[in-house]
Amino acid sequence: MAPLMRAPAALLALLALTACTGAPHATGAPLPGETRVATSAILANDVASSIMFFDALQDTTCDSRRVVDTRIVAEDEVYMFREGRLVQGKWSEVWTLDRCGKTARHRLDFEADGRGGTTFGISVV
């Protein structure tokens, strides 16, 4: 394998490992607060895994973090559903984590992709 290809492969392996370790909340337990992602187990898992990875990059000294609250902070007034799936709409949430006894907050901006899926971005509050 070419040296330039090793870094992306290592990063993908790290992302896969991170997604499989450390539960952001108890298995099967609902996410706390008022998040909209709780209605989709797949989206909830993707978002929770991503925010744990993102937060780990913010503080590499802590190996214990969990979601303690979620709040909707902005949303569109127009949502469109097709066959029970969101195809139009945007909203933002702030997720609060307990990071080794300290509070960490991250903003998540969600947008329907028009095909029944949802994209999101994460930033530090």
DSSP states of 11-31? HHHHHHHHHHSS-SS-TTPPP
Q: How much is the pLDDT for 41? A: 86
> Tens digit of pLDDT for each residue in 18-27?
333 344 554 4
Say if residues 110 and 88 touch (Cβ distance below 8 Å).
Answer: no
Domain assignment present for residue 53? The answer is yes
- Segments forming the whole domain that contains residue 45: 33-124
- For 116, the 3-state DSSP assignment is coil
Give me 67's structure tokens. 């979601």
- For 110, the 3-state DSSP assignment is strand
Domain assignment present for residue 89? The answer is yes
Q: How much is the pLDDT for 42? A: 87
Give me 55's structure tokens. 């937060």
How far, in Å, CA of 123 to CA of 74, rounded? 15
Confidence of residue 115 (pLDDT cuts 50, 70, 90): confident
> Tens digit of pLDDT for each residue in 38-91?
888 888 999 999 999 999 999 999 999 999 999 999 988 767 777 767 778 899
Q: How much is the pLDDT for 113? A: 87
Q: Is the dihedral of CA 27, 29, 32, 34 positive or negative?
A: positive
- How many domains is the chain built from? 1
DSSP states of 24-80? SS-TTPPPSSS-SGGG-HHHHHHHHHHHHHHHHHH-TT---EEEEEEEEEEE-S--E
